[in-house]
Amino acid sequence: MVSLLAKDYALVLHREQDALDILSSGLPGCIFTPEDLHPEFFDLENGLAGAAFQKFVNYNFPIAIVLPMDHAYGPRVTELVRDHRRHPCIRFFHALDDAMGWLSG
């Protein structure tokens, strides 16, 4: 099975253009950890997460974000995680194995 970890392909999501690079990576989907994401990604007011999510949804490109349950990104990110619990394209997970299982299933 091919790895879908962003870090294995030097993929990061630091700016909106990075979403396009990820889409053109040739991968069938991608798994991100907080280390692959710019800290501003979690500041939902700046629109980086929303713009990237819209691109992934438009191209039906599944992404999984592994985020610890006790993250320190605040209540808005916790709400975002909850809102994407059953999203067909963008999901948050607390464990890497769960993210891999979802993307490979």
Residue 1: which pLDDT band, with cuts at 50, 70 and 90?
low
Task: Determine phi and psi for 11, rounding to 5 degrees.
Answer: -95, 135
> pLDDT tens for residues 61-73?
999 999 998 888 9
Quote the pTM value: 0.94
How far, in Å, CA of 74 to CA of 4, rounded?
A: 27
Residue 81 falls in which region: left (phi positive, over 0), alpha (psi -120 to 50) or beta: alpha
Lateral strand order in the sheet of 30-32: 30-32, 63-66, 90-93
